[in-house]
Amino acid sequence: MRWQATQIFDTATDRETAAKALRQWIADARATELDWEPFITTLENHWDGILAYFDERRTSGPVEGLNTKIRVVLRRAYGIRNCATLWTRILLDVNWAWRKVGNTIGALRHLVTRIQAQFAGWYT
């Protein structure tokens, strides 16, 4: 059953095809002796979001990964005294260190200022 569900995500070409295949999978899963109900409940509760994947085949994975990296930096950042230093640390830790090599400290500060402007009001 697990591999059949994975196959749906790998092969369904659009939202309608995926919805039909997932409905059939749910019926098949309920017919087995295994307890699939917790998973099926989660699937049904997030039905629209799951089917949205099939519209453009994009997930929020990259954004979630970035958020996780930033949380790690924040945990390690105890003692950092100002936001500019924190933003620089985040920039370096999210694999943008290569940009620093080609830039001066002034250019890096300018880049951090531009990024801060984008997130103004989203952090304290």
Question: Which of the four pLDDT bands, split at 50, 70 and 90, describes residue 96?
Answer: low
Amino acid 83: pLDDT: 80
pLDDT tens per residue, range 55-64 = 888 777 777 8
Q: Is the pLDDT of residue 104 over 80?
A: no
Specify whether 114 is located in the same domain as 68. yes
- pTM of this structure: 0.55
Q: Which of 22, 4, 122, 19 is nearest to 67 (CA)?
A: 122
Amino acid 8: pLDDT: 93
List the structure tokens of 99. 């940009």
Question: Region 62-68: what's the mean pLDDT?
Answer: 80
Domain count, the chain: 2
Cβ contacts of 72 within 8 Å, gap of 6 or more: 93
The answer to whether residues 58 and 75 touch, using CB atoms and an 8 Å cutoff, is: no
Domain containing 85 equals 61-118
Percent of the chain at pLDDT exceeding 90: 36
Specify whether 82 is located in the same domain as 114. yes
Specify whether 111 is located in the same domain as 66. yes
Average pLDDT, the chain: 83
How far apart, in whole angstroms, are the C-alpha atoms of residue 46 and residue 115?
A: 32
Question: Region 73-79: what's the mean pLDDT?
Answer: 82
**Domain for residue 9, yes or no?**
yes
Amino acid 123: pLDDT: 60
Boundary-marking domain end, from 56, 71, 98: 56
